[in-house]
Chains A and B, each alone.
Chain A
Amino acid sequence: MSQSEVQDERPPGPSAMERLMDDPSSRKRFLTKLGGTFGAGAVAAFAAACGAADKTFPNQRSPEANKNPQFGGGTKFGEGDTGIVNFALYLEYFESDFYDLINNSGLLSGKFYSISRQIEEKEREHLEALRDTAKQMGTQPIKKPKTKFPVESQPQILKLAVTIENTGPAAYLGQAPRIQEAEILASALAIHTVEARQAAALNMLHRKKITPDGAFARPRDMATVLKGVAPYIVG
């Protein structure tokens, strides 16, 4: 299906949800209503979700959004869906390097080692799929970054793995609503939930909650993700 066919199915004008998001007063009413019915916890979670949506996707329907570095515009990744695929590829390179290093460090053992090797295999599959996708989309796949990670002991590595692995799903979640092509979106979602599974498994080994954000996972925009990985990138 071509993009134009997808667009043709979408009549113009904001949906009720979009109006809700854009209009502070109606959102406030909605939250008050939620509060009355569902209790403070649900309101906090929903407010967090709304806040994140406002912060992360404020300009998603405007062409200017693609020029904003926060959304990947004007960065080395390129614009639009190809930029998103390249951004994802960059993260998968980063993760693959990390697991390659720690799995060959001789420091890991037991359950963590077994899970860590499983994750490495899957990251490699993600990486190869995204690299091929970038090529097929007619764009030059982003170059593999050079990485450097501190590797000292199993507990220290597990802690770092938890941080790195929880970045993946948040990054994919931040990009998903910006993806134009349904097929690319479906593929990103297919990777997104696997990244989520891996993050939860590591959280569990680290005796941390599997859902650290609660019922609604928080997305991270491109700039925040890149800032998070920057300390481990050396070139």
Chain B
Amino acid sequence: MTTRSPVAPELSAIEVRGTTRGAFLMRGALAVGAAYGAGTVGPFVTQALAQAGQGNPRGAGDIEILNFALTLEWLEAFYYQRALKAVNMSSETKALAQEIETNEFEHAKFLNGAIKSLGGKPVPQPEVSFPFAGESKFLQLAQTFEDTGVMAYNGAAPLIEAKDVLANAGRIVQVEGRHAAGIRMLRGQNPAEAAFDGVLEFQEVVRRVKPFLDTLPFSFRQEELPRGAQQGDSSYF
């Protein structure tokens, strides 16, 4: 199901795909199945269908969405943490990387706590690896992560049930947008590419971050992936 963003033609480029929770979760399940082999789909599909039905505990789907966000936050936090050690940066870049690193760890820790408070089980920290080279490559990949983060949150937010969870996701995505602009400015790019930020579906987010995840740390699949399959695909930069 595809719902077009309202009426105004200027907004019609923004698609809210899968505005039902079931659609969102199903797509996520199928995406992960496609990326990692059909064997991984089963349990998640069952869970998704159960959540889409009536009479389930309120917030069950919110936990899935927050766990999805948590993985992205860990990925970003570790990226800046490691880059600050591995990459020779100008003082301006270093200051920004430190500011962002602090924020990303706070996001991850907040989400971890929020998932527990909703009665969920936070996904474990992912095993990650990054292809570090110089400052310019660092900023390039940082921009990919930040822009992806913005679109991932904006895509998932309308599916969130609890208003307080939505409010906190909003507080986080604004900060991701600010990070994206800071990185873009250091690269001499426009802070915003268009007047409206797009959304990404679960499937596309997985495709973008997969090359940097050595393990797939979602709650429905925790076994190790073959390392060889995960090494630096930079074809989409």
**Residues of chain A at the chain B interface (Cβ within 8 Å):** 1, 5-6, 9-18, 20-21, 30, 33-34, 37-38, 41-42, 45-46, 49, 52-53, 56-57, 60-61, 115, 118, 121-122, 125-126, 128-130, 132-133, 136-137, 169, 173, 176-177, 181-187, 189-194, 196-201, 203-204, 209-211, 213-219
Contact = CB atoms under 8 A, between A and B. Distances in A.
Contacts of B177: 169, 192-194, 196-197, 200
A11 B47 CA distance: 17
A187 B196 CA distance: 8
Interface in B106-163: 106-107, 109-110, 113-114, 117-119, 150, 154, 157-158, 161-163
A131 B181 CA distance: 27
A173 B62 contact: no
A57 B161 contact: no
Contacts of A181: 6
Contacts of B110: 42, 45-46, 49, 215-216
Contacts of A125: 10, 195-196
Contacts of A46: 110, 113
Interface stretch (B33-41, B164-172, B203-211, B224-232): B164-172
Contacts of B176: 193
Interface of B: 1, 3-11, 14, 16, 19-21, 52, 54-59, 62, 96, 99, 102-104, 106-107, 109-110, 113-114, 117-119, 150, 154, 157-158, 161-168, 170-182, 184-185, 190-192, 194-199
A192 B174 CA distance: 7
Q: Which 10 A-B pairs have the closest CB atoms?
A: A196-B177, A136-B7, A193-B177, A125-B195, A215-B106, A200-B178, A201-B191, A197-B181, A217-B174, A132-B8
B179 A49 contact: no
A15 B118 contact: yes
Contact of A1 (B3, B10, B11, B192): B3
Nearest to A125: B195
Nearest to B55: A11
B162 A190 contact: no
Contacts of A204: 181-182, 185
Residue in B167, B173, B196 whose Cβ sees the most chain A Cβ within 10 Å:
B167
Given A38-B113, A193-B154, A201-B182, 19 more contacts: A1-B3, A12-B58, A17-B114, A20-B117, A30-B113, A42-B110, A57-B163, A129-B8, A136-B8, A183-B158, A190-B154, A190-B196, A193-B176, A196-B175, A199-B178, A210-B178, A214-B103, A216-B110, A216-B168
Contact of A201 (B5, B6, B9, B181): B181
B181 to A, nearest CB: 4
27 contacts: A1-B3, A10-B58, A15-B59, A15-B62, A16-B117, A17-B165, A57-B163, A118-B190, A122-B195, A173-B174, A176-B167, A186-B16, A187-B6, A189-B158, A190-B14, A190-B196, A192-B170, A192-B177, A193-B173, A197-B192, A198-B181, A201-B182, A201-B191, A211-B175, A215-B175, A216-B168, A216-B175
B178 to A, nearest CB: 4
A4 to B, nearest CB: 13
Contact of A211 (B59, B150, B178): B178
A216 B172 contact: yes
A218 B172 CA distance: 10
A210 B182 contact: yes
A96 to B, nearest CB: 12
Contacts of A42: 106, 109-110
Nearest to B96: A210
